[in-house]
Chains A and B, each alone.
Chain A
Amino acid sequence: MGDAEKRPWVGYAFLAPSLVGVVGFLVAPVVVVAVMSLYRWDLVSPARWVGTANYRVVLTDPALIRSLAVTALFVVIVVPAQTGLGLCTALLLDRRLPGSVVFRAIFVVPWISAPLALGVVWRWILDPSDGALDALLGQRVEWLTSPGLALPAVAAVTVWTNVGYVALFFLAGLAGIPGQYREAARIDGAGSWQTLRLVTLPLLRPTTFFVLTTGLIAAFQTFDTVYAMTRGGPGGRTDVIASLIYREAFTSFRMGRAAAMSVLLFLLLITVTVAQQRYFRRRTTYEVA
C-alpha cells in the first residue's frame, strides 16, 4: 500500500486496461458527439461550424416534439409494467416451489435474445392474416398498423422481453432480506399483504431504484424492437426518439442535427436520473441488519 501511494502511476497502470475502454468507448464518443452537434456535416463533404444552429432547428422541429411525446408514452407504459410484473414474478419464484429454478432461467431467455430477432418473430406472431395471435383470438386485429394499437403492441413486446431480467434483480433483493423480518411481522399479526407492503417493499427499495433507473434509461433509448416491428409507423405513432436520431443521421446524413438530438436526449436522461435519485435517497436505506 505504502509503495503504491508513493508511486501513483502504479495504480493507474493497474487501471489502464479498463481506463482505455472507458475513455475510448465512452468518454471520447460523448465528447465527439457534443462537438459534432455544433457542425453541419453529411459525412462526405467537410464539416462546417454552425454554432447552435442545429439546436435551434431541432428544438423547433415538430418531428422531435412528436417523437418525444411518443417516447414519453412508451416509457410510461413500459417502465411501470415491467417493474410491476417483474416484482410479481419474483415474489412467485421466491416461494421456491419445485421447478422455480427452471422458470427463473426461462423468464430470462427473452432478455438474452437479440431484440431484432425477437421483433421479427413478434411481427410474424402479430401478422393480421397468418399470425398466431389472431388465429388464437379468431379475429382479425391489425396490431402493428392501427394508430391506436401499434405503440401498445411494441410496448408489450418490450415489457415481455424485460420482465425476466427485472425479476432476477428483485429475486436477488428478496434473497437479501433476512427471514426474521417477515417472520416477526407474521408473529405480530400482519397478513401477507401487510407484510409485503410494510416490510418487503421498503426493504427492496435499493433494488427498485436500480431497476427503475436502468429501466427508464433503456426505455428512452429503445430502438431495435421498434425498428424490427414497425420502423416508426403507422404515421409516426411508434417513432421513438432513437429511431428519429438514426434516420436523421443515416438516411438524411445530417450528422450535426442527429448529434444535437442525442445531446438533448442525454441531458433529459441525466435530469430524470438525478430526480429519481433524489426521490429515492430520502426514502431508501441500504442497511438491513
Chain B
Amino acid sequence: MRVLLRLFAVLVLLGGCSVTPEKDTGTVTFRLWDEQVARAYEESFAAFTKQNPGITVTVEVVPWADYWTKLATDIGSGTAPDVLWTNTSNFGLYADNGALLPIEDPQRAGWTPSVVDLYTRGGKLWGVPQLWDTIALYYNKDLVTKAGVDPADLTWNPAGTGDTFLPAARALTTGNVYGFNASLDNQGVLWDFVGSNGGAWQDGDAFVFADRPKTVEAVQYLVDLIGEEHVAPPAADTTTNGDKTLQLFTQGRLALFQSGPYHLRAIHEGASFPWGIAPMLAGPAGRVSVVHGVAAAASAATRNRDATGQVLRWLGSAEGVRPIAEGGYAFPGVTAAEPAFTAYWKKQGVDLRPFLDAARGTTFPAPVGPRAGAGTTAAGSVLEQVFLGQLGVEEGLRRAQSAANDAIEE
C-alpha cells in the first residue's frame, strides 16, 4: 500500500508539473497563494539573507485554486515546503496529524492577539500571524449625501426597536441602486450579523448555528432585507457570482458595502466616485466583526529545522512583515508594523481606522477545525437556498447544520 500511495503522490505531482528541488542546507522554501504579496516577501527575504548570509529563502506561489489540494498531496508524500501560508479553516487537519511544528516563540506578545487565538489549537500555537482582516462599511459618499444618511452610526435590530439601519437602507434604494449588500457572504456579512446579534456558528469544531435562536433571528433579518425589503440585490445575482456586490459598489449601484480590507485595492482602482469607510453595522450585541488571519506554519518534515526556525522568527518580527504593510497589501500580523499599512492608505486618502477599531472590539472567529472548509462548503449549498427564498430560514439552517456536521465527520 505504501508503494501505491507513493506512486499516487508521484502521479499527482506529475499532474501538477511540479519539481521540488533537493534542499541544500541553508535553503528554506516558503509557499503562499498570493502573487502580489509574494513580491513583498521577496523583499523581506532579501533583507533576511543580508542579516543571515548562510540562509536563502525560496518563495513559491501556488494559486489558490490548487493550494490546498497540492499542499495535502505534498505533505502526504513528504515534499512539503518548509514554511507555508495557511488559513484558519485548513491548518487544523495538519496540526491534528502532527504535520506542523508548534510555534514556541517569545515574540508572541507583539503579534495580533485575535490571530494568535485563531491559530491556537489544543493549547499550542501553530502559526506565526502574517496578516489579518476585519470588517467595516464602505460607503458611496454621493449616494449617502443624497439620501441624507449618516453611515457612521447605523444600528439594526430584528425586534425593530431602535433600528436606524433599515430606514436608511430603504432611503438609499432607488431605481437601479441598492442600499446594502445583504448576501451569502460569510466573512463580510453573514457571520458578522450572527455575531452582532449575540449568536454563534460553531461550538468547538461542531456547527451549532441552527440551535441558537439569536443566530436564526439574525439570518432571518438578513434574508428579509433581500426577499421582503428589496434593499439588497436579488440573491440570484449574488450566489452564482461572489464578486457581484463588489462590482455593483464600484459601479455606483450599491450605497453601503460591508466588507474587508481585502477589497481596498479593487475599490480604490475601480470607483470613480468619492467613497469612505465607516464602522460596520451595529446589532443588538454591538459591533462584532469576523476576524480572519493568515499565518506562516512550519512543516514538521522540514530537513532544516534551525534555518526554518530562524525564518519563522524573522516572519514574526516587525522587519519581517513590514514589506507587506508598506506595500499596502494587508494589515500585518505584527502589531509594530501596522502603522506602515495605515500610512500607505492615508497617502491615498483612505482612513483605515474602522478596521483597526473592529479588531480591538469584540470579534467573531473565522471557522476552525480539521475539515472546517468542507463544513462551510456543505452548509453553503443549503444556505444558498435559504437566501434565494427557496427554503425557510429555520428549516434551512437545520438542514445546513446537519450537512455541515456530516461533512466534518471523520
Instruction: Give the docked Cα–Cα distance between A28 and B5 (Å).
Output: 11
> Smallest distance from the beta carbon of A235 to chain B beta carbons, Å?
4
Of chain B, the residue at the smallest CB distance from A229 is B240
Given contacts A235-B384, A235-B391, are A32 and B240 in contact (CB under 8 A)?
Answer: no
Which residue of B93, B236, B241 contacts A253 across the interface (Cβ within 8 Å)? B93
Residue in B76, B384, B385 whose CB lies within 8 Å of A43: B76
Tell me the bound Cα distance from A246 to B5 in angstroms: 18
Cross-chain contact B237 with A128 (CB below 8 angstroms): yes
Which residues on A sit within 8 Å (CB–CB) of B11? 24-25, 28-29, 32
A145 proximal to B (CB < 8 A): yes
Interface string of A8-50 (1 = CB under 8 A from B): 0000000000000000110011011001100101111101010
A252 and B237 contacting across the interface, CB-CB below 8 Å: no
Alpha-carbon gap, A35 to B68, bound state (A): 23
A61 nearest in chain B by CB position? B406
Q: Does A173 contact B (CB under 8 A)?
A: no
Q: Which of B76, B236, B385 contacts A44 (CB 8 A)?
A: B76
Beta-carbon nearest neighbor of A146 in chain B: B236
Given A43-B73, A252-B407, also A128-B377 (CB < 8 A): no
Q: Whole-angstrom distance between the alpha carbons of A49 and B69 in the complex?
A: 22
Return the contact of A123 from the options B235, B240, B390 (Cβ within 8 A). B240
Q: Count how many chain B residues have C-beta atoms less than 8 Å from C-beta atoms of the other chain.
A: 36
A271 at the interface (CB under 8 A from B): no
In the complex, chain A residues whose CB is within 8 Å of the CB of B239: 145, 233-234
CA distance A146 to B371 in the complex (A): 29
> Is B76 a contact partner of A35 (Cβ separation < 8 A)?
no
Residues on B with C-beta less than 8 A from A239 are 381
Asked if A251 meets B75 with Cβ closer than 8 Å, knowing A145-B240, A229-B240, A235-B385, the reply is no
Q: Is A280 an interface residue (CB 8 A)?
A: no
Residue B8 at the chain A interface, CB threshold 8 Å: yes
- Cα(A24)–Cα(B192), bound, Å: 49
Verify B7–A230 contact, CB threshold 8 A.
no
A45-B97, A233-B381, A252-B374 known; A35 vs B75 contact (CB < 8 Å): no
Asked if residues A127 and B93 are in contact (CB atoms below 8 Å), the reply is: no
Q: Verify A234–B384 contact, CB threshold 8 A.
A: yes
| A234-B385, A235-B382 known; A42 vs B233 contact (CB < 8 Å) | no
B72 cross-chain contacts in A, Cβ below 8 A: 42-44, 250, 253
Q: Is A142 located at the chain interface by the 8 A CB criterion?
A: yes
Rounded to whole angstroms, the CA-CA distance of A29 and B240 in the bound complex is 34
Contact B8 A36 (CB under 8 A): yes
The interface bits of chain A over 39-67 (1 if a CB of B lies within 8 angstroms of the residue's CB, else 0) are 10111110101000000000000000000
For the complex, give the distance between the alpha carbons of A126 and B1 in Å. 47
Count chain B CB atoms within 10 A of each CB in A49, A147, A239, A251 and give the residue with the most. A251
Q: How far is the CB of B245 from chain A (nearest CB, A)?
A: 12
Minimum CB–CB distance for B89 against chain A, Å: 10
**B309 at the binding interface (Cβ < 8 Å):** no
- Contact partner of B7 (CB less than 8 A), chosen from A28, A129, A231, is A28
Determine if A44 and B97 form an interchain contact, defined as CB atoms under 8 angstroms apart.
yes
Query: Is A247 in the interface zone, CB < 8 Å from B?
Result: yes
Taking CB atoms, residues of chain A closer than 8 Å to B385 are 233-235
For the complex, give the distance between the alpha carbons of A36 and B318 in Å.
46
State the CA gap A144–B244 with chains docked (Å).
15
Pair A43/B75 contact, Cβ less than 8 Å: yes
Task: List residues 90-124 of chain B with CB under 8 A from any CB of chain A.
Answer: 93-94, 97, 99
The contact of A39 among B1, B69, B97, B233, by CB within 8 Å, is B1
Q: A251 near B1 (CB under 8 angstroms)? A: no
B14 to chain A, nearest CB (A): 8
Q: Which residue of chain B has its CB nearest to the CB of A38?
A: B1
**B contact residues around A235 at 8 Å (CB):** 381-382, 384-385, 390-391
B390's partner among A144, A147, A250 (CB-CB below 8 A) is: A147
The answer to whether A236 and B8 touch (CB under 8 A), given A43-B75, A128-B234, is no
B377 and A247 contact, CB distance less than 8 A? yes
Q: Once the chains are docked, how many angstroms separate the CA of A28 from the CA of B99?
A: 28
Q: Is B373 an interface residue (CB 8 A)?
A: yes
Measured CA separation A146–B236 after assembly (Å): 8
Q: What does the 1/0 interface line of B354-386 toward A look like (CB < 8 Å)?
A: 000000000000000001011001000110110
Query: Is A86 located at the chain interface by the 8 A CB criterion?
Result: no
Measured CA separation A35–B3 after assembly (Å): 11
Q: Taking A32-B4, A47-B1, A235-B384 as contacts, is the C-beta distance between A144 and B93 under 8 angstroms?
A: no
Distance in Å: Cβ of A253 to nearest Cβ of chain B? 6
- Is B8 a contact partner of A251 (Cβ separation < 8 A)? no
**A and B contact pairs by CB, cutoff 8 A, 26 listed:** A24-B11, A28-B7, A29-B8, A29-B11, A32-B7, A35-B4, A42-B72, A43-B73, A44-B97, A123-B241, A127-B237, A128-B234, A129-B233, A142-B234, A142-B236, A145-B235, A229-B240, A230-B240, A233-B239, A234-B381, A235-B390, A239-B381, A250-B69, A251-B407, A253-B72, A253-B374
New A-B pairs, 5, CB < 8 Å, besides A145-B388, A235-B385: A43-B75, A44-B76, A230-B240, A235-B384, A251-B407
Which 8 A-B residue pairings sit nearest by Cβ, starting from the closest?
A: A142-B236, A43-B72, A252-B374, A145-B236, A45-B97, A235-B385, A43-B76, A251-B374
Chain B interface residues (CB < 8 Å from chain A)? 1, 4-5, 7-8, 11, 68-69, 72-73, 75-76, 93-94, 97, 99, 233-237, 239-241, 371, 373-374, 377, 381-382, 384-385, 388, 390-391, 407
